[in-house]
């Protein structure tokens, strides 16, 4: 899994940064990509990236402020012209259906793929045999949600010594065992996956939060996560401003990551007052004073999970 930041600015785009959008690439897991928020200009950011809209499977919207959704109608329309024919599902708060359908209807835009829209108010919003996605309400001026993406445990690696016991050699049967299928040998012996596989590999957990003040729901959403993506709109010297506008400081993001027992913290959603990398450095240092394993989200940078 990989994170790719298409936009990291808060409120409006700046000359240095675009507004919020984050891609989660799942190429090895399901050969697809998920998108979290879609601010204005996101499709332009795609053109500068290695990402392909045809691989886009799901879009998760944290809340309905413009810097998180104004790029959505254009991206949905462009996907149809860039080889996107597979179904696409949008998850978001109540109102996202009206916004998308009205935008496409009034602009007479047509999509040639199946478009599904799921409105939710938290809880388990998606589950299949590979992933579970849970959402919970945060604290912002309008309903804003965080998402916890949980990869289910994966089968363990094949143990060569256990294969040797059954006289198995590398070949197609390996893949069947790895997928959890039992196989029958030429002598009629049944070999089950548990007979040749090591311990299951724990799945990864990624938490991506929408705009929020510090709020209790952040910790259970982030508990034990390998990576937390948390807004850091302001330095803590502007904590009163952050509170007034329902945002968080870099220090508050770090405190949440520490309390949640997370592995890594990635800061994003920076105020335009912090113009470039030099001006962002104090936010990083502030967070690292509490949670050392912190980094800044930089646009068009691929981060391995």
CB atoms within 10 A of CB 166: 14
279 is in an annotated binding site: no
Residue whose pair of structure tokens reads 């309903």 in the numeric block: 143
Burial class (CB in 10 A: 0-12, 13-18, 19+), 105: exposed
Q: What is the pTM of this model?
A: 0.90
pLDDT score of 283: 98
In angstroms, the Cα distances linking 281 to 38, 119, 170, 194 are: 26, 37, 51, 49
Instruction: Read off φ and ψ for residue 99, nearest 5 degrees.
Output: -60, -50
Report DSSP state, residue 249.
Answer: B
CB 160 within 8 A of CB 197: no
Helix and strand totals (H; E) in the chain: 12, 16
User: For position 229, what pLDDT does the model report?
Assistant: 98
Q: In what order do the strands lie in the sheet with 88-92?
A: 115-119, 88-92, 56-60, 32-36, 21-26, 2-7, 302-304
Reading phi first (left if > 0) and then psi (alpha if -120 to 50, else beta), residue 52 is in beta
The annotation status of 67 as a binding-site residue, yes or no, is yes
Long-range contacts of 114-118 (CB under 8 A, 24+ apart): 114/87, 114/88, 115/76, 115/87, 115/88, 115/89, 115/90, 116/87, 116/88, 116/89, 116/90, 117/89, 117/90, 117/92, 118/89, 118/90, 118/91, 118/92
- DSSP-derived secondary structure letter, 246: T
> Is residue 269 a known part of a binding site?
yes
DSSP secondary structure letters along 180-235 = T--EE-TTS-EE-HHHHB-SPBPPPEEEEE-S--S-TTHHHHHTT-SEEEEE--B-
User: Any binding-site annotation on 140?
Assistant: yes
Establish whether 65 is an annotated binding residue: yes
In the chain, which stretches have pLDDT less than 70? Answer: 169-172, 174-175, 178-179
Predicted local confidence at residue 171, as pLDDT: 67
Q: Residue holding tokens 């890594």?
A: 264
Task: Report pLDDT digits (tens) over 189-221.
Answer: 888 877 777 778 899 999 999 999 999 999 999
Of the candidates 67, 129, 159, 187, the residue annotated as catalytic is 67
Pair of tokens at residue 255:
């405190």
Task: Give the length of the chain.
Answer: 305
Catalytic: 37?
no
Spatial contact of 260 and 2, defined as CB atoms under 8 Å apart: no
Give ∠ CA 8-9-11 in degrees, rounded to 5. 140
Predicted pLDDT of residue 170? 64
């Amino acid at each position: 899994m990989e994170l790719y930041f298409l936009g990291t600015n808060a409120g409006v785009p700046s000359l240095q940064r675009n507004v919020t959008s984050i891609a989660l690439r799942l190429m090895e897991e399901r050969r697809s990509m998920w998108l979290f928020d879609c601010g204005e200009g996101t499709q332009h950011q795609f053109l500068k990236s290695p990402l392909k809209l045809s691989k886009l499977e799901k879009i998760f919207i944290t809340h309905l402020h413009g810097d998180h959704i104004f790029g959505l109608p254009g991206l949905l329309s462009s996907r149809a012209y860039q080889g996107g024919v597979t179904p696409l599902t949008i998850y978001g708060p109540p109102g996202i259906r009206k916004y998308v359908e009205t935008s496409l209807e009034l602009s007479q835009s047509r999509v040639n793929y199946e478009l599904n829209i799921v409105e939710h108010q938290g809880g388990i919003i998606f589950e299949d045999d590979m992933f579970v996605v849970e959402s919970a309400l945060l604290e912002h001026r309008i309903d804003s949600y965080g998402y916890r993406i949980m990869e289910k445990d994966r089968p363990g690696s094949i143990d060569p010594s256990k294969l040797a016991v059954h006289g198995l050699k590398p070949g197609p049967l390996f893949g069947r065992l790895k997928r959890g299928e039992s196989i029958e040998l030429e002598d009629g012996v049944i070999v089950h996956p548990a007979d040749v596989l090591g311990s299951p590999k724990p799945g990864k957990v990624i938490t991506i939060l929408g705009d929020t003040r510090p709020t209790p729901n952040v910790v259970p959403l982030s508990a034990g996560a390998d990576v937390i993506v948390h807004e850091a709109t302001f330095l803590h010297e502007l904590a009163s401003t952050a509170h007034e506008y329902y945002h968080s400081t870099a220090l508050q993001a770090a405190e949440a990551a520490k309390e949640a027992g997370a592995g890594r913290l990635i800061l994003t959603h920076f105020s335009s007052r912090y113009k470039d990398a030099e001006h962002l450095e104090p936010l990083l240092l502030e967070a690292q004073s509490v949670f050392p394993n912190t980094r800044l989200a930089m646009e068009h940078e691929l981060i391995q999970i």
